[in-house]
Amino acid sequence: MTPETIAEICYLAAAPCFILALRWMSQPDTARRSVAAGVTGMILAVGGTLLHPEIVTYKWIAIAAAAGIALGIPLARVPLTAVPERTGLSQAFGGFAAGLVGIAKYYLWLGEGQLTSFRMAVIALEVILGCLTATGGLMAAGKLAEKITTRPVTYAGQNIVSFVLLTLAIGLGGWLVVDPAQSWAFPIIIGLALIFGVLLILPIGGADMPTVISFLNSYAGLSAVAMGFVLENKLLIAAGALDGASGFVLSIIMCKAMNRSVTNVLFGAFGSVQTAAKVAEQRTVKSATATDAAELLTNADSVVIIPGYGMAVAQAQHRVRDLYDQLTKRGVDVKFAVHPVAGRMPGHMNVLLAEADIPYDRLVEMDDINPEMPQVSVALVIGANDVVNPAARTDEKSPIYGMPIIDADKSHTVLAIKRSMNPGFAGIDNELYYANNTLMLFGDAKQVIGDVVKAVTGEGGH
Amino acid sequence: MTPETIAEICYLAAAPCFILALRWMSQPDTARRSVAAGVTGMILAVGGTLLHPEIVTYKWIAIAAAAGIALGIPLARVPLTAVPERTGLSQAFGGFAAGLVGIAKYYLWLGEGQLTSFRMAVIALEVILGCLTATGGLMAAGKLAEKITTRPVTYAGQNIVSFVLLTLAIGLGGWLVVDPAQSWAFPIIIGLALIFGVLLILPIGGADMPTVISFLNSYAGLSAVAMGFVLENKLLIAAGALDGASGFVLSIIMCKAMNRSVTNVLFGAFGSVQTAAKVAEQRTVKSATATDAAELLTNADSVVIIPGYGMAVAQAQHRVRDLYDQLTKRGVDVKFAVHPVAGRMPGHMNVLLAEADIPYDRLVEMDDINPEMPQVSVALVIGANDVVNPAARTDEKSPIYGMPIIDADKSHTVLAIKRSMNPGFAGIDNELYYANNTLMLFGDAKQVIGDVVKAVTGEGGH
Amino acid sequence: MKLDLLTALFVFMLAAFLGLDIIRRVSRLLHTPLMSLTNAISSIAVIGAIIIAGEAHDTLSTVLGALAVFASTTNLVSGYLITDRMLRMFKRREAPKS
Amino acid sequence: MKLDLLTALFVFMLAAFLGLDIIRRVSRLLHTPLMSLTNAISSIAVIGAIIIAGEAHDTLSTVLGALAVFASTTNLVSGYLITDRMLRMFKRREAPKS
Ligand SMILES: NC(=O)c1ccc[n+]([C@@H]2O[C@H](COP(=O)([O-])OP(=O)(O)OC[C@H]3O[C@@H](n4cnc5c(N)ncnc54)[C@H](OP(=O)(O)O)[C@@H]3O)[C@@H](O)[C@H]2O)c1
Ligand SMILES: NC(=O)c1ccc[n+]([C@@H]2O[C@H](COP(=O)([O-])OP(=O)(O)OC[C@H]3O[C@@H](n4cnc5c(N)ncnc54)[C@H](OP(=O)(O)O)[C@@H]3O)[C@@H](O)[C@H]2O)c1
């Protein structure tokens, strides 16, 4: 058996590993296996590849891999709140790698005169996808880490400009297919793709980055597919397609849960109105102390905790866990209502709560909890805003109108923890905070919940 | 573009058609499209194939196709009760076709000396799978049509014999791979496979045929896959794999619903004890008249109809529909509880009830109805037996112990329609019929329900 | 168009996984039509039969090919027709007559 | 091993359908780990990079290849590690401490 054949066999064995890795994500108890399966797949794939006779030296591979590991390990240690940035960065790296391979292949084949028009076409595809994912991912990461302004940067005719750039890049690619002699055009394609990536993200508000990131996820997947076409490698195509699909499906889920169209997310410059709210400051809100809150919570028979982005910012999940323990110990039935787009990533809240050891069978999905809300004694809103904004149900003109929300307002009493009356991601005011059955607990979520827990244990006394 | 390329493009386009056809079966409203998609796929596939330059004459193709159509149309007109036989027959035809192609290819390549050992191996696989599916399918159809004894035909060491035959066939195949000169062995392989198909089915009871049939379904699929390997055709491989998967999943579902292992179905000679029941005849059962039944049903607030194989045999579904109309008109809430293995095919009852225009939203699955049963006034059991046999819950020694059943016995009153006290498929007695809250309505289901409807309308008067 | 063993296996593997996932999601209501639909799809074997019958290389192969075409056309026609017949019944459920 | 365009497209088509079906069935709880898992899987690009870096055909391609290996190894390592880290948290739910 030639090394190529052995490699092919490894690839054949690797593909099902990746498929199983993803299938096992269908439920938490099988999910642990996913990583093992994925890693096995990688080992097979890399192992098989290293056998390729074309490889004359392992030196550069080893050095580069070592560097990659050196950077990879710390990147995996980031706090969970930084996961979105990390993801964006990783999209960028993925696109970057695909782009570089494409570029290298182009010049190799150009030199050896083996640049068939088919190869040229797929290389152009790979390079364009790779480069725009690279810069796009970096931009997204930057915005999420708030290193770059999270405001949508808009200017007249910007969509036209981006569009022209992209068509130009594709056009040049097409030209190279027809007339490969024009190799001077290739670097231009690269440049255009890189710039396009930046322009694609600039006009998008920071809070839309999670959605953008999962779009980039599918681009990264597709550039891997393109690489597969270039290198005639089935495994690259299959694995790339799986990623592409994943990113695609996740973005759709997010858009649905925000009741926004894909185009609105990508070109809507959402959140540019971040200041529209303030006006309402004047109106009076009832605010309460930690002791009042403790009182209410301990005497309630059922409490639904609705966490939001604020809990993530404040890193309050462990305190929330303490509160959960104290209340359940006192026979209060505590549930967590998790909105699909609460926080800044899909499943954001679930991970944080899981990190704080809150049993996942206490997490209830929006559609299951809403019917129960009217019977709930206390809804404790922790740094959530848009996902509990009744305007989504009532106010036709609201930018979030039609977005499914958790009906906190329908519970007997609402306790809302936030630092100020500032709006959330959607930049709009929230009637909930002015409602008669709502008590505000102003302050940093971590701080406030800490106090409440103290008050509770103080009372409950032990 | 060469004709081959065009053909390949057609195949590439056909595959997604088949995939969509199957995906759209996920719910009745999208299902109608399935056939259209499947047909489109076929047209593309056949169209592309007809372009192949190897084809020198269309004469034989046309004649054979015409004959096929001539036989196919009447075969599609069979009454729905005959669907299982038809399916078995169609498996047989599928296997037959695969086998013939394999044989033809063998001699063609043998003649041209192009019989590589890989080709030999896959041909052997195709021919063995094809032939055993052919005879197996015929046997199954015969048993279902009761042309062949539905009793399991068993003799000592039969599993060994079958096993030896199969290994022999495979062994010879292996030998031919090593030493293709021994072409005399090829017909023997065919013969062995054909016999094996018969022996595989003989020891299986008629009532297990539906399960067997869906196993054969996956064999037929696999032989198509093998053909794909022989002819190096992706579409054959993909479509075959889809069928194979389908047959496999369905068989598993059926076995689960009968709480029996796959091996038990295939080698358990189930139903050989068909006579064990009679003894209980002595015990007294309460039987009722159509008028009593009408009385009960019209005065009930909720009625659950539990149809079984008997309804299929009696073709009573249209009468059932009349009864449903009459009762609903009188404000009785009528539901249908359909057991996954009621009847003799998966989904058997659903098709019959659908044929009688009963809205499918009135059909409730076992797991959803069982919790409600204690509140149900009347459970009307129409020719169902095993699927309502409490022994499955209570009697450890019963052959159906552990099989999930519909808890008819828990309802206030049970009305059971059957012709005698004879057992059902499992060949075991049913306590339900002797219970105090059970009234028997003896007679052919169609007849009996007809009378009940008359009685009802008689009363209700109009 | 050449198709090497490993690629063929790759295609098989993907299609098998896909099949398992798709069939698991088929509605219980439709298991009977599903069986006949898969019968119809498995009549794809016809494309292998056609070439052999059409090549008319020698009597044996032509006869075998023709028989295969006959068998699979039967499946094709009856399979789709009966599936359609059954699905129509379900389709009409949308607006129950009663 | 040659892979013609049509076969490549065929593989892509199957894998894409499979991906759509699989991801739809992923638990909502796990969408965040899912994202990082797919990142990790997309680091499969490393197999393309390795060959180019290993061929050491000329400086340019070697440098580009090495950079690509670096980038995708980073994804590979961090992707799997962080996914594992997150999933462990969920795993422990089996026996809640409280
Ligand atoms: N999850 C996703 O995948 C995703 C993706 C894209 C967009 N989004 C969007 O993100 C939003 C998520 O809704 P959400 O309700 O979770 O968050 P939100 O609407 O952004 O509101 C977060 C609230 O938390 C408060 N907060 C911030 N830091 C805090 C701290 N340290 N302590 C206490 N409170 C703090 C803020 O009010 P103060 O400043 O007054 O404290 C803010 O009102 C939705 O609009 C969704 O569409 C989500
Ligand atoms: N659905 C599947 O896919 C599948 C596959 C394999 C095996 N099976 C097995 O088939 C059985 C199905 O259970 P089931 O309860 O539906 O059927 P069953 O247990 O076979 O009982 C059918 C009953 O209907 C009565 N019957 C027959 N003809 C009748 C007529 N013309 N009028 C009135 N009654 C008539 C028979 O009693 P009389 O003779 O006294 O009338 C018999 O007791 C299960 O044991 C299941 O495991 C099903």
Centre of ligand 2 to C-alpha B271, Å, is: 13
Whether B449 and B323 have beta carbons less than 8 Å apart is answered as: yes
C46–chain B nearest CA distance, Å: 8
Residue A139 CA neighbour count, 13 Å, CB half: 26
Taking all residues of chain A, what is their mean pLDDT, rounded to a whole number?
88
| Structure-block tokens of residue A39 | 């890693």
Q: What is the full DSSP assignment across A27-38?
A: SHHHHHHHHHHH
Residues within a 6 A CB radius of ligand 2: B 207-208, 210-211, 254, 258, 308-310, 313-314, 341-346, 348, 383-387, 417-420, 422, 424-426, 444-445
Cβ contacts of residue B215 below 8 Å, gap of 6+? B247, B248, B251, B266
| Residue B415 DSSP SS3 | strand
pLDDT at A43 > cutoff 90? yes
Nearest-Cα distance to chain A for C7, in Å, is 8
d(CA B127, CA B124): 5
Alpha carbon distance D13, A77 (integer Å)? 36
Is residue A345 a contact partner of residue A83, using CB atoms and an 8 Å limit? yes
C-alpha torsion D38→D43→D44→D46, nearest 10: 180
Predicted confidence at residue B347, as pLDDT, reads 85
The partner residue sitting opposite B246, judged by closest CB among C34, C84, C88, is C34
Position C40 pLDDT exceeds 60? yes
Q: Among D7, D17, D22, whose Cβ lies nearest the Cβ of C7?
A: D7
Of the residues B4, B11, B12, the best mutation for testing chain D's interface (the one with the most D CB atoms within 10 Å of its CB) is B12
Query: Count of CB atoms within 10 A of residue B267's CB?
Result: 16
CA-angle at C17, arms to B166 and A227, nearest 5°: 125
Across the interface, whether the CB atoms of D10 and B5 are under 8 A apart is answered: no
B231 vs C89, higher pLDDT: B231
Question: Which amino acid residue places its CA nearest to atom 28 of ligand 1?
Answer: A310
Write down how long chain C is.
98
Q: Which amino acid residue places its CA nearest to atom 35 of ligand 1?
A: A310
Let me know if B289 is exposed, middle or buried by CB neighbors in 10 A (0-12, 13-18, 19+): middle
Cα distance from N-terminal residue to C-terminal residue, chain A? 73
- State which of A83, A274, A365, A418 you would mutate to test the pocket of ligand 1, scoring each by most atoms of that ligand within 8 A of its C-beta: A418
More confident residue, A346 or D67: D67
Q: Is the pLDDT of residue A278 over 70?
A: no
Catalytic residue among A243, A386, A407, A451: A386
Q: How far does the centroid of ligand 1 lie from the alpha carbon of residue A99, in Å?
A: 35
Percent of chain D with pLDDT over 70: 91
Residues 6+ apart with CB under 8 A from B89: B75, B137, B138, B141
pLDDT at B256 over 60: yes
| For residues A436-455, average pLDDT | 92
- The answer to whether C12 faces chain A, any CB pair under 8 Å, is no
Picking from A17-26, A90-99, B420-429, D23-32, which range would have the lowest pLDDT averaged per residue? B420-429
Best of A100, A110, A117, A129 to mutate (most D CBs within 10 Å, chain D): A100
Cα–Cα dist A117/D11, whole Å: 21
Q: How many CB atoms lie within 10 A of CB A302?
A: 16
What DSSP string runs through D42-77? HGGGHHHHHHHHHH--SHHHHHHHHHHHHHHHHHHH
**Chains touching chain C at 3 or more Cβ pairs under 8 angstroms?**
A, B, D
pLDDT of residue A459: 56
Please count the CA atoms within 13 angstroms of the CA of B379 that sit on its side-chain side: 31
In percent, the amount of chain B with pLDDT more than 90 equals 58
Query: Which of B309, B277, B308, B311 minimizes the C-alpha distance to B427?
Result: B277
Q: Is the Cα torsion angle A212, A215, A221, A227 positive or negative in sign? A: negative
Tell me the nearest-neighbour CA distance from C24 into chain D, angstroms: 11
Judged by a CB distance cut-off of 8 A, whether residue B156 touches chain C is no
Q: From the CA of A350, how many Å to the nearest CA of chain D?
A: 6
Is pLDDT of D72 > 70? yes
Q: How confident is the model at residue B203 (pLDDT cuts 50, 70, 90)?
A: confident
How far apart (Å, rounded) are the C-alpha atoms in residues B23 and C19?
9
Q: What angle do CA A370, A376, A380 make, to 5 degrees?
A: 90
Whether pLDDT at B283 is above 50: yes
Read off the pLDDT of residues A369-408 as tens digits, 9 standing for 90 and up. 999 999 999 999 999 998 999 988 888 877 778 888 999 9
Q: Average per-residue pLDDT in chain B?
A: 88
Does A280 score more than 60 pLDDT?
no
> Is the CB of C10 less than 8 angstroms away from the CB of A16?
no
Rounded to two decimals, the ipTM of the complex is 0.88
Instruction: Give Cβ neighbours of residue B151 (< 8 Å, ≥ 6 apart).
Output: B205, B206, B271, B272, B274
DSSP string, B277-323: -GGGGGS---B--HHHHHHHHHH-SEEEEEE-HHHHHHT-HHHHHHH
According to the model, what pLDDT value does residue B275 have?
Answer: 43
- The closest-lying atom of ligand 1 relative to the alpha carbon of residue A426 is 45
pLDDT at A274 over 70: no
Chain D CB contacts of B238 below 8 Å: 10, 14
Give distance in angstroms: CA of C79 to centre of ligand 1.
55
* Paired sense of beta strands A413-418 and A378-382, if any: parallel
B119 and B125 Cβ atoms separated by less than 8 Å: no
Q: Which residue of D has its CA nearest to A88?
A: D39
